[in-house]
A and B are shown apart, each in its own frame.
Chain A
Amino acid sequence: MLTNILMVFNLAVKNVFSNWGKNKTIVTILAVSLILIQFLISLSEGFGLQVKTFALDSLVGDLKIINPKSRVDSSIKLNFVIDDSTLDKISKIEGVRGVTTRINIPLVIKSEREFKNVVLVGINTEREKDISFLGKSYNPNNFKEAFKDNGILIGADLLKKLKTKNHFKVVASGPDVNEKLIEKAFFINDVFTTNIPNVSELYIFSDIKEVAKTFGFKQNEVSEVSIALVNQKYMESVKAEIKKILPVNSEIFEWGELMKFLKEWLDMMFINLLVFFSIVFLAASFPLSNTLLISVLERVYQFGILQALGLKKPYIAILILFEAIIILTIGSVIGLVIGVLLTMVLNHVGIDVSAFSQGLSGIGISDNLYPVLNLMTTIKVTLLLFVIATVISLYPAIKASLYSPIKALSKKLN
């Protein structure tokens, strides 16, 4: 049996290369299909990464613990208590990169000339740097200085909007936990910059203890706990672990639940990709099957000779399948290698999408897209195309094996 298979394989290799004129077209179609698929996968990975980074950086995080009623009511009374030991337990769960607490106070901030609705975010200066954009956009070592003496950190865009300057005073007014209106003067001690849309205009930051004191929060009372993960694959397991130790009046949400429109946008993109991949798979597979079928019909008499020499019918089918597999392998390897190299280059230089990205900045898409290589997904998709194309090649293979010796020998083309 092994010698039969080796003989058939040897014949298949020689058939493929002797018929290279026709086969190179199929190889090209396969390679181009794979390059396209690889490019789209890496582009969508890049999209997804930008969107998820936006979710994380814009203070949503991978997971968030909040009072569930606060999703529909922005009252600062809707908080909950979480102690340090629970925070430590959460930080030690496998897959958790960092965890922090925040107090969010919606208020109006006024300068000498302008006013604006903002959210005052009380942050934990030790933990926040591992979670949100503040760790990247601002030197965490400067938090202490920035929050000293009623100091706040505001965004450059907000500073511009308020028509004021760094180190100037602003007055913030908003209700405390007892719904009593508080007016407090803050000093702009420092300014942060970020390219995340809206964040630079919407948030001002201060120390969580100071904010708690000013707005009447009790000890360990917080508005939210934000959790960053090492990898999205830990989402379910971390969520399950946290649910076991959730504080009273709180619930845990994934970023996709809190930014539903983003999640749905990504899901829609994924579905579009699936549809596109299906079309590409079929478009790439059928020419292969068609070429093999024509090749089979042109060589039927050869199968008669092989049968006359004693080769059993199943090996005729194996011969055709081997030819299909050889063509697929060559096309796949070429497509994979070029696709990976292309992604690596584009990941380095980026793709300028500024002509299209204006409307997408609200979901974190910048002017430059960086495709991200996901080798495992690419290999899985390549294998899937390989399997589908091989299955489609079964038809010509089986057709070849069904000819009787005499019928096959009678088909010699002159």
Chain B
Amino acid sequence: MSMIEVKNVTKKYVQGKLENFALKGVSFSVNLGEFAVLSGPSGSGKSTALNILGSLDAASSGNVFIDGEDITVKSSFELSEFRLQKLGFIFQSYNLFPVLNAIENVCIPLQLKGYSKKDREEMAMEVLADVGLSGFEKRKPMELSGGQQQRVAVARALVSKPKLILGDEPTANLDTKNAQGLIELMKDMKNKYKTTIVVSSHDEDVIKQAEKSIHLRDGLVVN
């Protein structure tokens, strides 16, 4: 059963009279519970595709179905709600809030969903334990290593049990050991939390470990 269906999606950037196509009618699907990677060299369109899947950017044409919903027809307000209910994000630069400690960063999606303080702290503690960060709850991002910060970001993405987690080059800023650790963690969490994970990466080690690889080049799917 498809979690993601991308149908003939195009993304065009216009600068003056020049048109630049980041995606040229790509189509692919990802099944429920899969760990998929969007791979390709720089400029291939993988980050663009990921941003469109995450509704952070809009396709110029085509349709994107996530969990049966066509996100290309939703309004900005509906997309905010969609991201809150169904998606989780892991960014390349972790993108934690420096003024909040680990548990506060993890709690943000739960707070937006309306969970009480007691419930969200319980859930956040559980997820932080799952990602191996028990005892680090009160530390601020600047007090954590890169690998630890990325684990907090994973915890934040997982805590509200989203249907789909998207990661944009999540291992790019990590050393080999931490990168491997992160991929292992994501696979474990995918199984535990019954979620689908799609990451963009040009790292061969990441591509090898994915259950599905969608290779992009010059805005087209080549496999």
- Taking a contact as CB atoms under 8 Å apart, the answer to whether B111 and A312 are in contact is no
| Closest 10 A/B residue pairs (Cβ) | A310-B84, A14-B99, A406-B57, A405-B56, A7-B111, A18-B99, A312-B80, A310-B83, A406-B56, A305-B95
- Taking a contact as CB atoms under 8 Å apart, the answer to whether A313 and B111 are in contact is no
Question: What is the distance, in angstroms, from A140's C-beta to the closest C-beta of chain B?
Answer: 70
CB of B222 within 8 A of chain A? no
Q: Which residue of A lies closest to B85 (CB)?
A: A310
Question: What is the distance, in angstroms, from A3's C-beta to the closest C-beta of chain B?
Answer: 5
CB of B172 within 8 A of chain A? no
- Taking a contact as CB atoms under 8 Å apart, the answer to whether A309 and B83 are in contact is yes
Which residues on the A side are within 8 Å of B77 (C-beta)? 312
Which residues on the B side are within 8 Å of A406 (C-beta)? 51, 56-57
- Known contacts A309-B108, A409-B91; 11 further A-B pairs (Cβ under 8 A): A3-B113, A7-B111, A10-B104, A15-B99, A307-B80, A309-B156, A310-B87, A312-B81, A313-B80, A404-B56, A406-B57
CB of A171 within 8 A of chain B? no
Given contact pairs A308-B89, A309-B89, A7 touches B108 in the complex (Cβ within 8 A): yes
- Taking a contact as CB atoms under 8 Å apart, the answer to whether A308 and B112 are in contact is no
CB of B193 within 8 A of chain A? no
Q: Which residues of chain A in 1-45 are interfacial with respect to chain B, using CB atoms and an 8 Å cutoff?
A: 3-4, 6-7, 10-11, 14-15, 18
- Taking a contact as CB atoms under 8 Å apart, the answer to whether B100 and A308 are in contact is no
Question: What is the distance, in angstroms, from B4's C-beta to the closest C-beta of chain A?
Answer: 17
- Taking a contact as CB atoms under 8 Å apart, the answer to whether A3 and B112 are in contact is yes
CB of A412 within 8 A of chain B? yes
Given contact pairs A4-B111, A405-B56, A11 touches B81 in the complex (Cβ within 8 A): no
Given contact pairs A11-B99, A14-B100, A308 touches B83 in the complex (Cβ within 8 A): yes
- Taking a contact as CB atoms under 8 Å apart, the answer to whether A3 and B57 are in contact is no
Q: Which residue of B lies closest to A406 (CB)?
A: B57
- Taking a contact as CB atoms under 8 Å apart, the answer to whether B111 and A6 are in contact is yes
Q: How far is the CA of A306 from the CA of B81 in the complex (A)?
A: 12
Most A CB within 10 A of own CB, among B93, B99, B100: B99
Given B55, B89, B112, which contacts A7 in the complex, CB threshold below 8 Å? B112
